[in-house]
Amino acid sequence: MITMALELLAPAGSPAALKAAVEAGADSVYLGSAWNARMRARNFTKEELASALAYCRKEKVKSYITLNTLIFEQELAGVADHIKFIYENGADSLIIQDLGVAAIAREIAPNLKLHASTQMSVHNSKTAEKLKKIGFKRIVLARELSLEQAAKIKENSGIEIESFCHGALCYSYSGKCLLSYYQTGRSGNRGACAQLCRLPWKLFCKGKQIPEINGHLTSTKDLNTLEKIPEIAKAGIDCVKIEGRLRDAAYLRTIVKAYRRAIDTSQITDLSKFTSRSYTGGYLFGAARKSRLTSPAAPSFSGTKIGEVIETSRKGAEVRLTAALAVGDSIRASSSNKIIEIFRIYKNEKEVPVGTGNCILKIKSFRRGDTLFKVERAEIEDDFLKRIKPSRIRSALPFKPKEKIVFPITNSASKETRFIFPEHPREISSLSSGSFCVINWEDATEESLAAAKEKGVKLIIETPRIIFDEELPGVEARMKELEQSEGSASSPFAFSVSDPSLASNYPTIVSTYANVCNTLAANEWRNFGNIQGVIASIEVPKKVSPELGFIPFAGKSVELMISENNLFKELNIPESQMDGCELVDPNGNHFPFRLRNGRTVILSPKK
């Protein structure tokens, strides 16, 4: 038997799922209560969470608590209480998105290990090194990295690294998607994503619809790296993580068992029937770059494939089943997301309790050619934690509220000072002297710098949001070049930074895309570089930002998604049509999208 030194981490979105994951062989589990990135999951009450932690200790399974959302200022005291509770009840680690949470945990729970959530989108060695310096012990890497890039980050930073191995993928970099919040008010960074990327799109280029390209164009396939587990272990990855806190216990039991078997024996289990979107190896092994990442015909998980509709009539649907279907089972058709419970099954014109092969279902909503999926009911095992007695094993330190931080730019700026976010650099010439103007990286030309100098405008250059290790030297060289601009152009007032890797000794403004929502998170950024000010997250109300000492974001155009996927290549859009392309949602909203360094950026619809 070949056993690999690879930790298997499983999701637990409910007590039933926790039990299934542990019994199936997980080394560790991640679970949440308040402030976690899967608020739509069943999750755990406070009492259940304490018992769950005791259960994990009894079973010698590590417990990682998800507190991986953005935190608003008024929530900090409540977050401190929550950290105190899970620390005292024996949690092994805390999975974090918001740097303010890290500050609290370091203060009151000094022995609690901190894991940087994939919501932090860590994708280069320099950011990993900086997070290690402020107390993080593990990085849950961005899903967009190759295995070689992941191994290099571990080699360069010396920090533990964790990588997703199975489950749903987001089209956007995690933590960098604002689509749901912008359109519905439901924030993916607050655990309430509406999954708008799974909706059907129409494609328009230069104002005209491309009718042959439509469907769920940004709905990604599911990740499956089961056959690559030996290579992942050999590369030095410390932990593989299964996605699925919204999945039921039966599904998790099967998936966890399959990965346990692969790690322990290198044997592969066929999991093809557990997805309707089909599988991809993702970016880890280059599959997402070589073949299609998206699955336009299948927007969401639909259960286990059980058959197809071969004919429809007023009597119902004739189906060909590939597995047994019983009265009381629940199924879903590929043409609909509606789950239907089976009440009657007919075979050879007789009603039967269980159907196999060709049968008639008295359901008129099915369409000819539909694929049918059996949807498992969640196991009712949530009560088992009532038999587990929680135990307080250590004491946390008190949390002391901090004084408000005053950044230099906030302190020196008058109430009349304007921060402008132009849509085009030509707008610089119309600005008044003393204005602060934030422009995109690609717009930082000699002409833009010269116009700013002539008008007395303080130029702030937005740096790239994604910078792989191999891209970092070029970006840093360009920043140095801009800082030392001479002649007709002037150097920028500051750089706007959303990734810690680019925070440096240059005057730095924390970008709105860094998602800073509280003063503790803002203060943590001071560990990374010469921070002169903070532009608040788009999710912080404009009237609240000045009260926190932040600059309100007032841009007309918002980058809602950034994806490693080249959507133009994915959709086979000819180069001649690449200008002026838009995705149109079912409500008729037009979302412009473009390429930046080969990555797709989807922008907010024009009002």
The residues near 517 (Cβ < 8 Å, ≥ 6 apart) are 70, 71, 72, 73, 98, 100, 536, 537, 539, 540
pLDDT at 568: 94
Helices (H), 28-98: 46-58, 76-88
pLDDT at 161: 98
345-347: strand order across its sheet: 339-341, 330-333, 371-375, 304-313, 316-326, 354-361, 345-347, 350-352
Q: How many CB atoms lie within 10 A of CB 186?
A: 16
pLDDT at 379: 47
Place of tokens 């399974």: 61
CB-CB contact of 86 with 53 (8 Å): yes
| C-alpha triplet 123, 154, 29: angle, nearest 5° | 80
Q: Tell me how far CA of residue 580 lies from CA of 219, 239, 326, 519, in angstroms.
A: 22, 42, 52, 39
pLDDT at 403: 79
Q: Give the whole-angstrom CA distance, residue 475 versus residue 503.
A: 12
pLDDT at 4: 66
**CA nearest neighbour of 256 among 246, 265, 243:** 243
Q: Which two tokens stand for residue 106?
A: 């370091």
Q: Give the whole-angstrom CA distance, residue 498 versus residue 547.
A: 22
Stretches where the chain sits below pLDDT 50 are 1-2, 379, 414
User: For residues 518, 522, 523 and 528, what is the CA-based torsion angle, rounded to 10 degrees?
Assistant: 150
> Could you tell me how many residues make up the chain?
607
Question: Can you name the residues that pair with 320 across neighbouring β-strands?
Answer: 308, 358
Question: Can you name the residues that pair with 95 across neighbouring β-strands?
Answer: 66, 115
CB-CB contact of 345 with 354 (8 Å): yes
Q: Tell me how far CA of residue 181 lies from CA of 58, 94, 503, 537, 607, in angstroms.
A: 40, 25, 27, 12, 16
Q: Give the whole-angstrom CA distance, residue 322 versus residue 358.
A: 9
pLDDT at 585: 93
Q: Give the whole-angstrom CA distance, residue 446 versus residue 486.
A: 10
The dihedral through the CA atoms of 210, 215, 220, 224 has a sign that is: negative
Q: Tell me how far CA of residue 173 lies from CA of 84, 362, 366, 446, 588, in angstroms.
A: 31, 43, 36, 31, 25
Q: Is 362 helix (H, G, I), strand (E, B) or coil?
A: coil
The residues near 469 (Cβ < 8 Å, ≥ 6 apart) are 124, 125, 126, 149, 152, 153, 156
Q: Which amino acid is at 487?
A: G
Q: Which two tokens stand for residue 501?
A: 């890797």
CB-CB contact of 529 with 411 (8 Å): no
Q: Give the whole-angstrom CA distance, residue 361 versus residue 372.
A: 12
Measure CA 132 to chain center: 21
